[in-house]
């Protein structure tokens, strides 16, 4: 069959800029896969995606005018059902054949094949390949239907009566196979579309109102030369990056969105994924970067505020100097290229000036009140209807932070931690954070510095939200670490306690992220805090909160009404000290949840599931020890003796599991009979003290390596000794020997998890 390149374009009204990249990729790849499924492409076919603010397009190479015919084997039914005793077709078989467009004469050609249960009738036939004019409407419909659009737009066609749905109204369809229009009949009549070769270019700068596309391969070039449109999203993105960086270099500045100290090729790859770059790429059809500036007096405002308002509201690119400080210059990505750009630049400067003035006003007004003076206002801000106000929550965070500092045995730290925690949420009531919620914490730091508080306290106010996402930086000081840990623990304990746990892919309170933050804060700062022991302390803090007490009493009362009856339950009086917010079940659920996030994180960092499971299955009391234990397990796994020892350990574990009652790790040397069990006992007598001493000193790697000496005696033991001896005393002694071996091998990690 003749193959030619195919071009499809949907001409639409302005698409959502933040979704354009995803929409373009989804449209072209679904179209391609549908054509492939129908046999209209071959192995050499490739798809190119085009996406602009007003079009979704795809160019596909080597598309056949008609798919090749193919031989098919159509399974019909069991022969016992389809044929009577004389071998004639039953009514059921005749009906099935008719449904396939075949008459009764085909019965003689049916093939029988045994599937192991019965003989099955098959019809061998030639399936006609689909023609492109029939297959393409199916592919386009698939591509439209499967677009990742959360909410469709409803609109009327030109007749004023017909209603249809799509992400934005569609105004045109280009469908070219080579240089021919693919005639698809009335396939898209309900959308008011008819395939053609005419499209439009840039809204203002196109050379002519309409563009007649010559063939599938001339599309991108014609749009560029006749329509002043760069059809490729990727090409537009790279053009924007190039222009932005050239302008920044001319001014001896750098882009705020560009990480410092990167080589040019690295920066280009990173910038392509920048959300602001992606958004402006989706807003323009032919980018033109211009330079704007604002009055230097605005630089008195914290640069985070100015940067945020320029990027979020105006889609401008702020410029930083060599020291990373904001300059009063910014770059504009325009969609037009006038001979005199002064009017465009002046217009953008006029637009940004009031926003910067607002930021300066908020900053000046906020500094007239201290952070401490705002604390009472937190009592009026609802945190959660079951967990009280931000003020009540803040009080719990202060107590948790103080308890963490106390456990770290640092009196000076405790006073700073309590004060920083106390002020940590005060900036929520400032005008600046009210206007720009993304600045919470950051503004608190600026205001604390303005009031003269030391940097430990000021930076802790900003840093207590960290880490906000995977890979984010940790707090810069110990004070910040403690307040951040307290804040995240309060969130998890509180929300778990009222049943707001993540389910499936739903995590509305980002508790998985909070759990990972706790893990990183403890491990990367090597904090000697046992969550298992510390969670009851947090429980006491919650249980002493008056709001929580009432919540618990109400919950208990409802339970009592169900079991005791309403009258008896109403006479109950609860003793405050006996009420607990967090049950043992809650504690275990939360610990498991945190450990699960740690496991995921460790696997993401390259550790195998077996290695991670070996360490975490022992539920180490201190999470800060996990990395050392994991490195020890990895080192052990590389020893030649490791596979045999892991397998033996698994065998020992299974033997001990089957024994009823407790098996003590004790051995009576007088009851040892076989040479192999004596040798193992002697080897344990040498290895165990050495391995235990190394373990107690924290040298987990060498402790595990010392176990290599046990391989030969362990193998010999299982080859020559019967554990389940007839003599009960002998059996118990051998089990005690295995329990001693098990205890020796599994202090750092459960080595049985390494067995394949």
725-739 pLDDT, tens per residue? Answer: 889 999 999 999 999
Kindly state whether residue 56 falls inside one of the protein's structural domains: yes
Residue 556 maps to a domain:
no
Is residue 682 assigned to a domain? yes
| pLDDT band per the 50, 70, 90 thresholds, residue 701 | very high
Same domain? 391 vs 523: yes
- For residue 33, name the pLDDT band (cuts at 50, 70, 90): very high
pLDDT over 60 (residue 573): no
pTM exceeds cut of 0.85:
no
Nearest CA to 35 among 149, 186, 142, 126? 142
Of 463-477, 543-557, 673-687, least confident by mean pLDDT is: 543-557
pLDDT (0 to 100) of residue 125: 75
Give the DSSP H/E element, type plus range, for residue 70. strand 70-78
- Dihedral angle of Cα 276, 282, 283, 285, to the nearest 10 degrees: 130
Binned at pLDDT 50, 70 and 90, residue 71 comes out as confident
What pLDDT does residue 265 have? Answer: 65
pLDDT of residue 565: 58
Quick one: average pLDDT of 621-635? Answer: 95
246 CB-near residues (< 8 Å, 6+ apart):
none
Whether 615 maps to a domain, the answer reads no
pLDDT at 560: 53
Q: What CATH number does the domain containing 706 carry?
A: 1.10.730.10
How far apart CA 638 and CA 642 sit, in angstroms, is: 7
User: What stretch of H or E contains 586?
Assistant: helix 584-604
> Domain ends where: 202, 225, 248?
225
Q: What is the DSSP letter of 251?
A: T
Residue 410 has pLDDT above 70, yes or no: yes
Token digits of residue 49: 């995606």
Residue 433 sits in the same domain as residue 327 = no
Q: Are residues 109 and 58 in the same domain?
A: no
Structural domain for 175, as ranges: 3-67+131-225
Whether residues 243 and 298 fall in one domain? yes
Q: What confidence score (pLDDT) does residue 577 get?
A: 44
Residue at a domain's end among 208, 225, 242: 225
- Residue 9 clears pLDDT 70, i.e. is over it: yes
Q: What is the pLDDT of residue 263?
A: 61
Placement of tokens 């003793």 in the chain? 575
Contacts of 444 by beta carbon, 8 Å cutoff, 6+ apart: 371, 423, 424, 426, 427, 458, 461, 462
Average pLDDT over residues 399-422: 92
Summarised one tens digit per residue, pLDDT across range 283-297 is 999 999 999 999 999
Counted domains in the chain: 5
Residue 569: pLDDT band by 50, 70, 90 thresholds? Answer: very low
Average pLDDT for residues 60-79, to the nearest whole number?
A: 86
Quote the CA–CA distance of 205 and 223 in Å, as a whole number: 11
Structure tokens at 455: 């940097």
Domain boundary among 366, 399, 427: 366
In a domain, 54, yes or no: yes
What is the predicted pLDDT for the residue at 700?
Answer: 95
**Across residues 272-290, what is the average pLDDT?**
95
What local confidence, expressed as pLDDT, does residue 574 receive?
46
Q: What is the pLDDT of residue 579?
A: 57
Q: Which residues, 6 or more positions from 748, have their beta carbon under 8 angstroms from its beta carbon?
A: 615, 629, 632, 633, 695, 700, 703, 704
pLDDT at position 563: 58
CA distance 80 to 357: 87
Instruction: Measure the CA–CA gap between 186 and 404, rounded to whole angstroms.
Output: 71
For residue 619, being part of any structural domain is answered with no
Contacts 24+ apart (CB under 8 A), 588-591: 589/496, 589/501, 590/492, 590/493, 590/496, 590/535, 591/531, 591/532, 591/535, 591/619
What spatial distance separates the first Cα and last Cα of the chain, rounded to whole Å? Answer: 52
pLDDT at 162: 74
pLDDT digits (tens, 9 = 90+) for 486-504: 999 999 999 998 888 898 8
Res 150: pLDDT: 73
- Report percent pLDDT > 90 for the chain: 69
Within a domain: 565 = no
Average pLDDT for 599-625: 93
What is the residue-averaged pLDDT of the chain? 90
Residue 661 inside a domain? The answer is yes
Q: Residues 380, 514: one domain?
A: yes
| Interatomic CA distance for residues 363 and 439, integer angstroms | 12
Kindly state whether residues 197 and 260 are assigned to the same domain.
Answer: no
The pLDDT of residue 459: 97
pLDDT at 661: 85
Burial label, 386 (beta-carbon count in 10 A; 0-12, 13-18, 19+): middle
Mean pLDDT value across residues 703-713? 94
> Residue 1: is its pLDDT beyond 60?
no
- Contacts of residue 447, defined as CB under 8 A and 6 or more positions apart, other chains included, come to 366, 367, 370, 371, 427, 430
> Which of 158-167, 349-358, 392-401, 654-663 bottoms out in mean pLDDT, i.e. has the lowest?
158-167
Does one domain contain both 273 and 198? no
385 and 513 share one domain = yes
pLDDT tier at 35 (50, 70, 90 boundaries)?
A: very high
- 100 compared with 88, residue with greater pLDDT: 88
Q: Residue 36 pLDDT more than 90?
A: yes
Condensed to tens digits (0 to 9), the pLDDT of residues 146-168 reads 999 877 888 777 767 777 778 88
Question: Is the domain of 352 the same as that of 480?
Answer: no
Across residues 473-490, what is the average pLDDT?
Answer: 96
pLDDT at 513: 95
Same domain, 7 and 112: no
> Is residue 504 domain-shared with residue 439, that is, in the same domain?
yes
pLDDT at residue 562 greater than cutoff 90: no
Provide the percentage of residues in the chain whose pLDDT is more than 70: 94
CA 614/CA 665 separation, integer angstroms? 21
Task: Note whether 357 and 378 are same-domain residues.
Answer: no
**Residue 448 scores a pLDDT above 90:** yes
């Amino acid at each position: 069959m003749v193959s030619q390149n195919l071009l499809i374009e949907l001409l639409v009204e302005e698409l959502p800029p933040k979704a354009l990249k995803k929409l373009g990729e989804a449209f072209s790849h679904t179209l391609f896969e549908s054509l492939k499924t129908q046999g209209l492409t071959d192995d050499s076919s490739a798809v190119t995606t085009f996406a602009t603010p007003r079009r979704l397009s795809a160019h596909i190479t080597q598309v056949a005018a008609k798919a090749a015919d193919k031989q098919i084997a159509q399974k019909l039914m069991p022969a016992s059902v389809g044929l009577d005793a004389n071998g004639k077709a039953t009514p059921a078989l005749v009906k099935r054949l008719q449904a396939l467009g075949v008459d009764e004469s085909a019965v003689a050609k049916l093939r029988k094949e045994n599937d192991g249960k019965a003989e099955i009738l098959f019809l061998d036939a030639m399936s006609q390949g689909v023609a492109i004019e029939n297959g393409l409407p199916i592919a386009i419909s698939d591509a439209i239907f499967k677009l990742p659009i959360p909410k469709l737009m409803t609109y009327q066609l030109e007749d004023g009566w017909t209603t249809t749905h799509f992400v934005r109204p569609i105004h045109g369809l280009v469908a070219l196979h080579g240089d021919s229009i693919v005639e698809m009949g009335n396939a898209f009549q309900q959308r008011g579309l008819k395939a053609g070769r005419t499209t439009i270019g840039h809204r203002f700068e196109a050379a002519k109102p309409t563009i007649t596309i010559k063939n599938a391969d001339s599309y991108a070039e014609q749009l560029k030369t006749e329509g002043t449109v760069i059809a490729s999203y990727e090409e537009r993105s790279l053009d924007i990056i190039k222009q932005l960086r050239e302008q920044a270099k001319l001014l001896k500045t750098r882009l705020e969105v560009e990480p410092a100290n990167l080589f040019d090729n690295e920066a280009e790859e990173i910038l392509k994924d920048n959300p602001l770059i992606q958004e402006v790429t989706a807003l323009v059809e032919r980018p033109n970067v211009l330079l704007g500036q604002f009055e230097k007096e605005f630089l008195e405002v914290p640069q985070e505020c100015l940067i945020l308002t320029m990027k979020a509201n105006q889609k401008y690119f702020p410029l930083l100097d060599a020291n990373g400080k904001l300059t009063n210059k910014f770059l504009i990505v325009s969609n037009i290229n006038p001979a005199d750009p002064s009017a465009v630049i002046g217009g953008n400067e006029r637009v940004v000036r009031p926003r910067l003035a607002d930021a300066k006003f908020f900053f000046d007004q906020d500094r007239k009140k201290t952070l401490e003076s705002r604390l009472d206002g937190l009592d009026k801000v609802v945190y959660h209807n079951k967990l009280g106000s931000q003020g009540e929550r803040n009080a719990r965070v202060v107590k948790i932070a103080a308890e963490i500092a106390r456990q770290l045995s640092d009196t000076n730290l405790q006073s700073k931690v309590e004060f920083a925690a106390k002020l940590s949420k005060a900036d929520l009531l400032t005008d600046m954070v009210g206007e720009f919620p993304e600045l919470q914490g950051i503004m608190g730091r600026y205001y604390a510095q303005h009031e003269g508080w030391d940097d430990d306290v000021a930076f802790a106010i900003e840093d207590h939200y960290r880490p906000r996402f995977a890979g984010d930086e940790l707090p810069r000081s110990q004070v910040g670490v403690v307040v951040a840990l307290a804040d995240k623990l309060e969130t998890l304990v509180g929300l778990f306690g009222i049943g707001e746990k993540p389910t499936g892919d739903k995590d509305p309170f980002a508790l998985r992220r909070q759990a990972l933050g706790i893990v990183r804060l403890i491990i990367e700062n090597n904090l000697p805090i046992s969550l298992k022991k510390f969670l009851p302390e947090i429980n006491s803090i919650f249980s002493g909160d008056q709001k929580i007490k009432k919540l618990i009493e109400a919950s208990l009362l409802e339970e009592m009404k169900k079991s005791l009856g309403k009258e008896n339950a109403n006479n109950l009086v609860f003793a405050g000290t006996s009420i607990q917010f967090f049950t043992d079940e809650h504690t275990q659920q939360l610990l498991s949840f945190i450990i699960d996030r740690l496991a995921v994180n460790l696997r993401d960092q390259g550790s195998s599931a077996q290695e991670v499971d070996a360490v975490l299955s022992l539920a180490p009391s201190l999470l800060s020890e996990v990395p050392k234990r994991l490195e020890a397990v990895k080192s052990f796994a590389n020893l030649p003796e490791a596979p045999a020892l892991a397998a033996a350990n698994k065998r020992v574990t299974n033997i001990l599991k089957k024994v009823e009652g407790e098996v003590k790790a004790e051995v009576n040397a007088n009851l040892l009979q076989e040479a192999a069990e004596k040798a193992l006992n002697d080897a344990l007598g040498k290895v165990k003290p050495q391995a235990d001493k190394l373990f107690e000193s924290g040298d987990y790697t060498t402790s595990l390596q010392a176990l290599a000496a046990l391989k030969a005696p362990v193998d010999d033991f299982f080859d020559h000794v019967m554990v389940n001896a007839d003599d009960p005393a002998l059996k118990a002694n051998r089990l005690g020997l295995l329990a001693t071996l098990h205890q020796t091998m599994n202090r750092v990690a459960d080595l049985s998890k390494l067995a394949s």
